[in-house]
Amino acid sequence: MLDFVRNNRRLMLLLLLVLVFPSFVFFGVESYSRFMDSSHDAAKVDGRTITVQEVDNVVRDQSERMRQMLGNNYDPRMFEGPAARQAVLDQLIQQRVISEAT
């Protein structure tokens, strides 16, 4: 079996392209277009969206507040990375849920 694959590399490559490439074309294009449509939305709460720009603004505001409070002890790495952005997003989601409940 492996000898067949080794001896017929071009045939196997062609077979692979014929079977795999169309699936990437059809499903890849759909997922890319879906990603581009929702790329500005970080989350959706009760039909209202929280945009990536809102998250960025809150991260920047919190970072600036901490810089003013801590002075020379401020470490900007506290607000870098996905964990910090996720914490801000969770905070915004909680605020939206509470505002919808009242």
| pLDDT per position as a tens digit, 43-62 | 888 888 898 889 999 999 99
Give dist(CA 32, CA 98) in Å, integer: 33
Give dist(CA 45, CA 63) in Å, integer: 25
Polymer length of the chain: 102
Report percent pLDDT > 70 for the chain: 88
